[in-house]
Amino acid sequence: MTRYLNLYWYFLIQRLKVLMEYRASFILGASSTIVWQASSIAAVWVVMQKVPILNGWSYDEVLLVYGLVTLSKSINHMFADNLWTLGRVYIRSGGFDRFLVRPIDPLFHLLADRFCQDGVGSLLVGAALLVKTSIALGIDWTPDKLLMLVVGVVSGGFIFIALNLITCVTAFWIVDSVPVTRLVFDNHLFAQYPLSIYPRAINILLTWVIPYGFASFYPASYLLNRDVGNIAWFAPVVAALLLFFGYRFWRFGLKYYSGTGT
C-alpha cells in the first residue's frame, strides 16, 4: 500500500508539473467547470422560483443536496476521470499495452496516469455551496454531522468511481465504452434533487441499483435532521461492495483484452 501511495504521489507531482507548463489551460479548465456548474445552479434557481417549496424542500436545502453530490463527483473527476478514456485513448491506439508490461497494477496505472484539473472547479463549487447553505440553514455542526459529511462525500466519490469503473470495463469488448458509462453516469443528475420528489421506482433505482442517492440525498437528510433512519450510514458499505465488484469485473475484462498489434 505504501509503495502505491508513493507512486501515486510521484505521478501526481509529474502531472502537476505538466499542467503548470500551461497555466492558462489549467485555469481555463478549472474555470470552465465553475461556469458549467453555475449554469446548472441557475437552472435549479429557476425551478425553485416557480415552485418555492419542492415537496417540502426549500431552495437552500436543495442546494445542499446539489453541493454534496458535486463534492463527491469532484473526487471522481479529479482522480478517476481517465476511466472515461480507456477505450478511445488507450485501447484503440494500443497504448494500454504499456500498462501490462510494467510491474504495477494496470488499473492503478490507468488512474494515476492523469489528474484532471477540471475537477478542481467542481470541488470549489461544492465547497462554496456547502458553506452557503450551512449558514443559510443554520446547520449545527455536531461531531456526528461532521462525520456524516466526511462519510457521505468520500463514500459518494468512491461510488462514482466504482460505477464508472464497472461501465468502462465494457471497452475490452466494444472499445468505446463512453456511451455505456454515460448511460449510468447521467443518472446522477436526478440525485442533484431530493429523491423524495420522484416516484418510488426512481427512488429505489438511485438507492439500490445506481446508488447516487448516498452521495447527496441521504447525507443531506441527516444533516437537516430529516427522518430517513440510519440508511445514510450505509454509504461506506455500498461504496466498498461496488468497488469490490468493479475490480473483480475489471480483472475479468482484462482477460479478454487483445492488443491492436500496433
Tens digit of each residue's pLDDT (9 = 90 or more) over 123-150 = 999 999 999 999 999 999 999 999 999 9
pLDDT digits (tens, 9 = 90+) for 99-124: 999 889 999 999 999 898 888 889 99
Three-class secondary structure of residue 54 per DSSP: strand
- pLDDT the model gives residue 262: 54
pLDDT band at 261 (very low <50, low <70, confident <90, very high): low
Please determine, for residue 1, whether its predicted confidence score (pLDDT) is greater than 80.
Answer: no
For all residues of the chain together, what is the average pLDDT? 91
The count of structural domains within the chain is 1
Determine, yes or no, domain membership for 224.
yes
Please determine, for residue 30, whether its predicted confidence score (pLDDT) is greater than 80.
Answer: no
Domain with 100 in it: 43-254
pLDDT digits (tens, 9 = 90+) for 200-259: 999 999 999 999 999 999 999 999 999 888 899 999 999 999 999 999 999 999 998 887
Determine, yes or no, domain membership for 3.
no
Please give the average per-residue pLDDT across 58-79, as a whole number.
96
Determine, yes or no, domain membership for 159.
yes
Determine, yes or no, domain membership for 15.
no
Determine, yes or no, domain membership for 201.
yes
| Buried/exposed 53-77: b ≥16 CB within 10 Å, e otherwise | ebeebbbbbbbbbbbbbbbbbbbbb
Determine, yes or no, domain membership for 33.
no
Class of residue 242 by CB neighbours under 10 A (exposed 0-12, middle 13-18, buried 19+): buried
Determine, yes or no, domain membership for 180.
yes
Alpha carbons 193 and 61: distance in angstroms, whole number: 9
Determine, yes or no, domain membership for 166.
yes
